[in-house]
Each structure stands twice: as C-alpha cells, then as structure tokens.
C-alpha cells in the first residue's frame, strides 16, 4: 500500500514538476527496490515503514552537519524531504498517549519485570508510531518514580 502510494505520488510530482519531492520519492523507491533485491522478496509494510524512518533519520542527521557548515539552502531542502517522507509514515503517538501506554504496561507487568521486558512490550504495541528514545526515556522515568 505504501509502495503504491509512493509510485502514485511520484507520478503526481512529475506532472507538477516538483523536483525536490520527485527526487525524494524516487530515492525512497530505489531504496525499497534495493532492499527487495537484497532480500529476494517483496518488503512488507513494516519493513517499508522502517526503511522510510531510516531515510528520515539520515536527513535529520544531515541537518546537524549542514548547520555546522552554515548551509541554509541544504537545511531547507532536508526539512522539505523530511516532510515529504513523513507523509508516507503512520501518524506518531503523542507524549500523553505513550505515557498512558507505558503506565498500562508497568502496572500490568508488575514490578518484577525489568526495563527490557517493559520496553519490548511497549515497542510492540506502538509498532513504529513512536520514537524508541522517547519511549525509553518515559519507561525509565516511570520505573524510577515507581
């Protein structure tokens, strides 16, 4: 579904002559194709989402270096690419939603379970809709407070 949406949006960007959007989508489709060749089978939705998240992370890391190099045009381009990629990712959970989920897991898994077990359960529940660093910080905070 995501791959088909990427192809449709690529065609649309081509007709609109939106070059940054077109290049970003083409690069993403190329990455997906390379992973499929490497895996020798089609990628499922979860794998495509993980790949798109990696692409977003690459661009976020690039922004840091562009800021150090005083390259505002590249910073703007990276932000545009991130916004294009985020259109194809599932919506992120809010902090309150993540905190509620962590509270639920901490109470249901009891005190005997450690950090790793709680993180595993929470991350399977959020399924890519929250950043692991954010979830980790909230779990640590809840375990230290409790």
The count of other CB atoms within 10 Å of the CB of residue 5 is 12
Low-confidence ranges of the chain (pLDDT < 50): none
pTM for this one?
Answer: 0.77
- Model pLDDT, residue 129: 82
Query: How far, in whole angstroms, is CA 17 from its chain's centroid?
Result: 27
Cα separation, 63 vs 71, whole angstroms: 9
Residue 80's H or E segment, with its range, is helix 72-86
Q: Radius of gyration of the chain from Cα atoms?
A: 18
pLDDT in tens, 45-62: 889 998 999 999 999 999
- Model pLDDT, residue 120: 85
- Model pLDDT, residue 11: 96
């Amino acid at each position: 579904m995501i791959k088909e949406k990427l192809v449709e949006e690529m065609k649309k960007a081509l007709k609109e002559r939106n070059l940054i959007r077109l290049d970003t989508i083409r690069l993403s489709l190329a990455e997906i194709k390379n992973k499929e060749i490497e895996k020798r089978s089609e990628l499922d939705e979860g794998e495509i989402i993980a790949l798109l998240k990696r692409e977003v992370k690459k661009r976020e890391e690039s922004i840091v270096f562009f800021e150090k190099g005083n390259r505002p045009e590249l910073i703007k381009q990276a932000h545009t690419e991130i916004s294009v990629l985020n259109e194809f990712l599932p919506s992120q959970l809010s902090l309150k939603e993540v905190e509620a989920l962590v509270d639920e897991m901490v109470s249901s898994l009891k005190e005997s379970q450690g950090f790793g077990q709680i993180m595993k359960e929470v991350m399977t529940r959020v399924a890519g809709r929250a950043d692991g660093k954010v979830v980790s910080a909230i779990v640590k905070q809840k375990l230290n407070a409790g």
